[in-house]
Amino acid sequence: MEKSAFVHIGLTVSNIDRTIEFYKKYFGFEVELKGQFPDGFFDAKPSLYGLKAGAGSKIAIINSPDGVALELFEFLDQTPFKAAKWDTPGYHHICLKVDDIHAKYQEMKKDGIEFYFEPDYMGDPKDDRYWVFLKDPDGNMIELQQ
């Protein structure tokens, strides 16, 4: 059986620079590529993208410290954000591992980042494993685990 490897997660954002700074500041992501798609790029595959003719987008690829990438899109003509729902098929969050979830929570909370709850135990408290959920700058869900 052929092996596969995880390459990236695609994420549409409202402000690519703000999103890059968020992931750099809190999670140590680094920019690999930043630019704009050439005119007509999305028009060439309408069945894939489903966008109106002439759509344009900025792009950035940012890498986590362990090499998993986020491919960011900022479309020039955007539709309003719609929060993912747990009971609706589709993607609803990404999960990142942090060394000290309590320190990360305090740092981000101080900066006004919105959390769903405070860090909580993942199962048995003696295991010293924690989790928490927060919103990125666009309201996408991120789970943190320690």
Distance between CA atoms of 11 and 16, rounded to whole angstroms? 10
Distance between CA atoms of 120 and 123, rounded to whole angstroms? 9
Reported pTM:
0.91
29 has pLDDT over 90: yes
84 has pLDDT over 90: no
pLDDT range class, residue 89, cuts 50, 70, 90? confident
- C-alpha distances out from residue 13 to 74, 96, 117, 133, Å: 5, 18, 24, 19
41-74, pLDDT tens digit by residue?
999 998 999 898 889 999 999 999 999 999 999 9
Q: What is the mean pLDDT of residues 113-139?
A: 92
Polymer length in residues for the chain: 146
- Sort strands 120-121 and 130-135 into parallel, antiparallel or unpaired: antiparallel
CB 46 within 8 A of CB 57: no
pLDDT for the residue 81 = 87
